[in-house]
Structure formats: C-alpha cells, structure tokens
C-alpha cells in the first residue's frame, strides 16, 4: 500500500495494490503491521457501514470530543463519495482547514483521519456503501457537529445547496462561530 501525505499533518490517503485479471480483482484492504509501520499504533475497536441510496446525501460534519474522540479509516465498497476532514485541533497551525478526497469502489482508496478532525462526506452516486473503522466507541454524550456549509471552513463540496440531502440533525447543526 502507498501512504500519501495531505496538505494537513495527520490525514493520509492510502492506495492499495490491486491485482486484477479476467476473474475480477484482489487487494489487501487492511494490514495492521503495514498500518502501524506507516501511521503508528491505532487500536480499531468498531467497524461501521452506511448505505446512501441517493446522490446528494451529505453526512457531517461530525466528531466526538475529549477522551471519546475517534480516529477513522474510511473506504467506499461501491459507489463514490467526496470525503472531507476538517482540522479542529486547538492550537494546530492548520486549524479550520480541510482536506478532501474522492473515495470510490473503483479507485479503492482509503482515507485515514486522526483524532481532532471533524468528518463528513457527500455521496456522488446512488446506492453508495461506505465503511469505516474507529479507534473509539461511539458515545452520544461526546458527539459534536458543525454545519456542512459553514463559511468558516469554506469547503468546496462541488454541489448546489438545493441538491443536498441532509438528516434533520445535520440540517440544524451549529455553525463554528456559534
């Protein structure tokens, strides 16, 4: 696997080696030994999966606070998303900046987001299956979110706001400066 640094210290794009022939393909989606060598020790404790039936579904920007913060390793099994990580680490020189990457069933890229980032993704194709590993359990009392279109973060989602499909909770998430 190739581990590609981003413009912000911490998040990494991971490109697996895919072996294909007339039968299909094979690739190693995770190797603890390889991951620890390139990223460091991360103890993943929970795997999650979501299906987004429609293009335009936007989930985020979500994070967990304090000791329940989560590092995540994200990938798309089928379909595609624009994945976004926003640096919300206090004192970070890149605080408020974001990194985006397209993850798809076709490119098989993965995205590692360390603790201290808000995360969201925009679904680019109908019936997209999104999977991710977390290094901490979900804790509703530690959950936080910011509005997907917060001008403070200036994220280019590449979609018209009237095409975005949000959960009721994400539609009323606070803006950063609130």
What does each of the 178 residues of the chain score in pLDDT, given as a tens digit? 999 999 999 999 999 999 999 999 999 999 999 999 999 999 999 999 999 999 999 999 999 999 999 999 999 999 999 999 999 999 999 999 999 999 999 999 999 999 999 999 999 999 999 999 999 999 999 999 999 999 999 999 999 999 999 999 999 999 998 7
**Residue at 178 is within a domain:** no
Work out how many domains the chain is built from and give that number: 1
DSSP state of 55: T
Which entry of 3, 132, 137, 138 is annotated as an active-site residue?
132
Specify the CATH number for the domain of residue 27. Answer: 2.60.120.10
**Residue at 176 is within a domain:** no
Question: Which residues span the domain enclosing 166?
Answer: 2-171
Within 8 A by CB and 6+ apart from 91, the residues are none
Which entry of 62, 119, 137, 152 is annotated as an active-site residue?
62
Tokens of 2: 């190739």
Give whole-number Cα distances, 8 to 4, 71, 80, in Å: 11, 15, 23
**Residue at 132 is within a domain:** yes
* pTM as predicted: 0.94
Look-up of token digits 């304090």: 66
**Residue at 177 is within a domain:** no
Is 38 catalytic? The answer is: no
**Residue at 30 is within a domain:** yes
Is 62 catalytic? The answer is: yes
């Amino acid at each position: 696997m190739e581990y590609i640094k981003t413009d912000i210290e911490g998040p990494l794009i991971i490109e697996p080696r895919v072996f294909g022939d007339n039968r299909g393909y094979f690739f190693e989606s995770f190797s603890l030994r390889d991951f620890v060598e390139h990223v460091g020790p991360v103890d993943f404790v929970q795997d999650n999966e979501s299906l987004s039936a429609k293009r335009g579904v936007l989930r985020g920007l979500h994070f967990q606070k304090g000791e329940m913060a989560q590092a995540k390793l994200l990938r798309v099994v089928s379909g595609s998303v624009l994945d976004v990580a926003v640096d919300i680490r206090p004192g970070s020189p890149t605080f408020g900046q974001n990194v985006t990457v397209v993850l798809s069933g076709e490119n098989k890229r993965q995205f590692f987001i360390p603790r201290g980032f808000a995360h969201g993704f925009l679904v680019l194709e109908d019936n997209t299956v999104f999977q991710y590993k977390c290094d901490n359990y979900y804790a509703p009392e530690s959950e936080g979110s910011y509005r997907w279109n917060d001008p403070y973060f200036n994220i280019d989602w590449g979609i018209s706001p009237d095409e975005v499909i949000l959960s009721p909770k994400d539609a009323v998430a606070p803006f950063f400066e609130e």
